[in-house]
Amino acid sequence: TKHLLGIKDITTDDINLIFETADNFKEVINRPIKKVPSLRDITIANIFFENSTRTKLSFELAEKRLSADVVNFSSSNSSVKKGETLIDTVNNILSMKVDMVVMRHSSPGAPHFLSRNIKANIVNAGDGTHEHPTQALLDAFSIREKLGDVAGKKVAIIGDILHSRVALSNIFCLQKLGAEVMVCGPTTLLPKYISSLGVKVEHDVNKALQWCDVANILRIQLERQQIKYFPSLREYSLYYGVNKKMLDGLDKEIVVMHPGPINRGVELNSDVADSEHSIILNQVENGVAIRMAVLYLLAGVR
């Protein structure tokens, strides 16, 4: 494939190839000289129409460690504010001899639309409530690193599933790798089609924690809520917030993940986020190697 638009479109073999390539790059970026010349003839534009800390910096570092030339675009201080369209914006950027585009956009399907209208490799860095493929890859890679394998593991995704692109990409990725997936949250934060995805559904967070080997805790995405959803943040944290006492009550150790940014004290307490259960910063570290692998493999297809 010429693009990475979603995990839905790629195979288990593709995912395993990305992981094997990321294993090599992880070793490279832990050396004193973190850089390889692989993409030195490639220019990449990171085009962000939505805020980001981790994904944006992680892609930029991945590109720089592959020796690509990099330009960064944020819609908030661009001519999008003067009414320029998405295709005009991207085609103008491509006229400056850009080969690959990494794009985050608030509209589901925006990178797919772009892929049909421009001549460049496109990597989806998150499209609204739809997919966030590199996040799912780095999440599964981090489970593989921590537990040895993803196949056969029980992963509970807990939180605002309805508005989460991380949840959808994680479900596709984990299932392709042979994990069992459960989603847990209040009914108002689960999409109506959820059972058609072949996941278990649980509303009791303590039962979800008891069931799983890995809990991936998600943020309540207030910015995507069209109407005021039940529960409120205070109610959510009371009924679904994960804290140390809940983990201490389990008869086993579980791994805790979060894609970030964390709303501390809402979906996750600091006594868990900063504990030995958490692999949250390992996820961020692995994001660079995963993105290097994705860009390297796509450049090879060019």
CB of 139 to ligand CP, least distance (A): 9
Residue 139 to residues 71, 90, 153, 157, 169: CA-CA distances in angstroms?
A: 26, 29, 13, 12, 10
Q: What residue number has its CB nearest to ligand CP?
A: 55
Residue 53 binding ligand CP, by CB under 6 A: yes
Place of tokens 């006594």: 271
DSSP string, 172-219: HHHHHTT-EEEEES-GGGS-TTGGGGT-EEES-HHHHHHH-SEEEE--
Structure tokens at 259: 């894609």
Under rule CB under 6 A, residue 259 binds ligand CP = yes
Distance between CA atoms of residues 150 and 163, nearest Å: 25
* Stretch of residues binding ligand CP (CB under 6 A), selected from 174-182, 226-234, 255-263, 269-277: 255-263
76 binds ligand CP (CB under 6 A): no
Whether the Cβ atoms of residue 143 and residue 155 lie closer than 8 Å to each other = yes
Q: Which is nearer to ligand CP, 65 or 180 (CB)?
A: 65
Does the annotation list 135 as a binding residue? yes
Verify binding: residue 261, ligand CP, rule CB under 6 A. Answer: yes
11 binds ligand CP (CB under 6 A): no
User: Which one of 135, 169, 216, 278 is in contact with ligand CP (CB under 6 A)?
Assistant: 135
Q: Which of 21, 38, 43, 55 binds ligand CP (CB under 6 A)?
A: 55
Question: Does position 52 bind ligand CP by CB under 6 A?
Answer: yes
Segment near ligand CP (CB under 6 A), from 39-47, 49-57, 81-89, 155-163? 49-57
Beta sheet of 214-217, edge-to-edge order: 200-202, 180-184, 154-158, 214-217, 255-257
Any known ligand binding at 283? Answer: no
Binding-site residues? 54-55, 82, 104, 132, 135, 165, 219, 260-261
Residues lying near ligand CP in the complex (CB under 6 A) are found at: 52-56, 126, 135, 259-261
